Amino acid sequence: MNDAKHTRDIILTVARKVFSDKGFHAASVREITRAAKANLGAVTYHFGSKRDLYLAVLDQILAELSQRIIAAAAQPGSSSQRIASIVHAFFAFFADHPDAPRVLIRELARGEPPPPPLVHHMGRNLEAILSVIREGQARGELRPVQPILAAFSIISQPVWFALARRNIAAVSGVPLDREELTAQVEQHIAELVARGLAPERSGA
Amino acid sequence: MNDAKHTRDIILTVARKVFSDKGFHAASVREITRAAKANLGAVTYHFGSKRDLYLAVLDQILAELSQRIIAAAAQPGSSSQRIASIVHAFFAFFADHPDAPRVLIRELARGEPPPPPLVHHMGRNLEAILSVIREGQARGELRPVQPILAAFSIISQPVWFALARRNIAAVSGVPLDREELTAQVEQHIAELVARGLAPERSGA
């Protein structure tokens, strides 16, 4: 790796942590370059503005999520198995990237239209999931609900769990945020969605 | 209504809007008292600190949600009907209080343990929903999943939809945030959860 690429990667790694801890506004370019042992102009040189650096962080996080979701959706198997793979991909991603929920919540809290990396990567995830739904419906394995609504049920539960797991544990008194119980949440979501999308039984 | 109660209510109404628009840190007591046409000491007099005022706003919002959820859970009917009533209560609440999602997202973005009003009201909501699940399971109308997991599926989808509806519309290109389509999302969630929690059919 050449030095410029190396500096760029270090800045990106440091910025991800600082943005996650403090949010976009409170994070300073000076703090990021200092922690990256780079000069103050390095952010401008490698990324452009502080906003561009933030978008690069968001792009990196969401690209990793997309890779996993698209790979999961491409697995062979029954519709139930493929839905379980997608739900698992969300859980595995958030387990490996504990900083990701905070960045996503802070992005949501901005209350502005979603930025290009979010629209791009979430759009790709959605397309991959919609393909699984449509194929399952074509095979008669899933009932003919609107695919976008089925996709919403698959995505919303793992994402909300990742974002609110600590609050859910605090409110319920059940430590659902602990790893051994998280696996049960994952399994529950996959099973509930698969059953909820199953076709009518004949004679029902 | 006496003058003191009147002033308190106006401050609460104004503070709710300012906190929703700007978030806790950016909101100023001066701005709130000025908009409420009260003197600068009125927040201290009626609430204590700015943080106490914020907690009063959160308490007001969540108390309204609790009332609706608890009333919905107390409805008679089949488990499917009661689940549909609960899902509807979430949607009706968010439709009537378009500022609520932003306050809740900003609260989540703080990344600190949930404050007492949130734990109190969400705890009451959860208890009401758990009762519906347990009664449905006792009657054999719902399969014996862990009640907390069933409750999670009922709560997570309407809440995530309220918080992320604009992003979901932007990513999908489907205007699910428009009222006529929101009703379809509500119906889908209620149906998916009811089917997902339905007991095994005999002979299955």
Nearest residue of chain A to residue B158 (CA atoms): A156
- Helix B147-172 / helix A147-172 crossing angle, nearest 10 deg: 130
- In this complex, do A156 and B152 lie within 8 Å of one another by their Cβ atoms? no
Asked if the model's pLDDT at residue A161 lies above 50, the reply is: yes
Is residue A68 within 8 Å of residue A92, measured between CB atoms? Answer: yes
Calculate mean pLDDT across residues A12-24.
Answer: 90
> How many other C-beta atoms are found inside a 10 Å radius of the C-beta of residue A2?
7
Selected residue of B148, B159, B177, B197 to mutate for chain A interface (largest A Cβ count, 10 A): B148
0.90 surpassed by complex ipTM: yes
Is residue A139 within 8 Å of residue B94, measured between CB atoms? Answer: no
Q: What is the DSSP letter of A178?
A: S
- The 10s digit of each residue's pLDDT in A99-135 is 899 889 988 888 889 999 999 999 999 999 999 999 9
C-alpha span between A140 and A135 (Å, rounded): 9
C-alpha span between A137 and A142 (Å, rounded): 5
More confident residue, A31 or B203: A31
Calculate mean pLDDT across residues A138-148.
Answer: 97
Contact list in A for residue B189 (CB cut-off 8 A) is 153
Write down the pLDDT at residue A24. 86
Q: Is A195 on the interface with B (CB under 8 A)?
A: yes
Q: What average pLDDT does chain A have?
A: 93
Amino acid present at B198: A
Q: What angle do CA A144, A149, A151 make, to 5 degrees?
A: 100
Write down the pLDDT at residue B203. 47
Structure token digits, residue B177: 């945030």
Q: For B29-77, give the DSSP string.
A: HHHHHHHTT--TTHHHHHTSSHHHHHHHHHHHHHHHHHHHHHHHHT--S
Tell which A residues from 119 to 148 touch B, by Cβ distance under 8 Å. Answer: 119, 122-123, 126, 145-146, 148
Q: Is B108 on the interface with A (CB under 8 A)?
A: yes
Asked if the model's pLDDT at residue A59 lies above 50, the reply is: yes
Provide, for chain A, the percentages of residues in helix, strand and coil under a 3-state DSSP scheme, each rounded to the nearest 5: 75, 0, 25
pLDDT tier at A204 (50, 70, 90 boundaries)? very low
Tell which B residues from 38 to 67 touch A, by Cβ distance under 8 Å. Answer: none
Of the candidates A149, A153, A172, which has its C-beta nearest B148's C-beta? Answer: A172
- The 10s digit of each residue's pLDDT in B60-117 is 999 999 999 999 999 999 999 999 999 999 999 999 999 899 889 988 888 889 999 9
Is residue A130 within 8 Å of residue A151, measured between CB atoms? Answer: yes
Q: What are the backbone dihedrals phi and psi of residue A48, each rounded to the nearest 5 degrees, phi first?
A: 105, -110
Contacts of B36 (CB under 8 A, 6+ apart): B7, B10, B11, B13, B14, B15, B42
Write down the pLDDT at residue B66. 97
C-alpha span between B182 and A108 (Å, rounded): 20
C-alpha span between B8 and B45 (Å, rounded): 9
pLDDT tier at A1 (50, 70, 90 boundaries)? low
Task: Please give the C-alpha separations between residue A9 and each of A136, B137, B190, in angstroms, as whole numbers.
Answer: 41, 53, 45
Which is nearest to B190 in space by CA: B161, B153, B162, B160?
B153
CA B143 to chain centre: 26
Contact list in A for residue B165 (CB cut-off 8 A) is none
- In this complex, do B122 and A189 lie within 8 Å of one another by their Cβ atoms? no
Question: Radius of gyration (Cα) for chain A, nearest Å?
Answer: 20
Q: Is B183 on the interface with A (CB under 8 A)?
A: no
Tokens 């439709």, residue located: B95
Selected residue of B149, B176, B177, B201 to mutate for chain A interface (largest A Cβ count, 10 A): B149
Calculate mean pLDDT across residues A76-102.
Answer: 96
Q: What is the DSSP letter of A113?
A: P
Write down the pLDDT at residue A146. 96
Selected residue of A107, A125, A152, A167 to mutate for chain B interface (largest B Cβ count, 10 A): A152
State which residues of chain B have pLDDT below 70. 1-2, 202-204
Write down the pLDDT at residue B7. 92
Which is nearest to A188 in space by CA: A115, A91, A104, A49?
A91
- In this complex, do A113 and B146 lie within 8 Å of one another by their Cβ atoms? no
Contacts of A202 (CB under 8 A, 6+ apart): none
Asked if the model's pLDDT at residue A2 lies above 80, the reply is: no
pTM of the model: 0.93
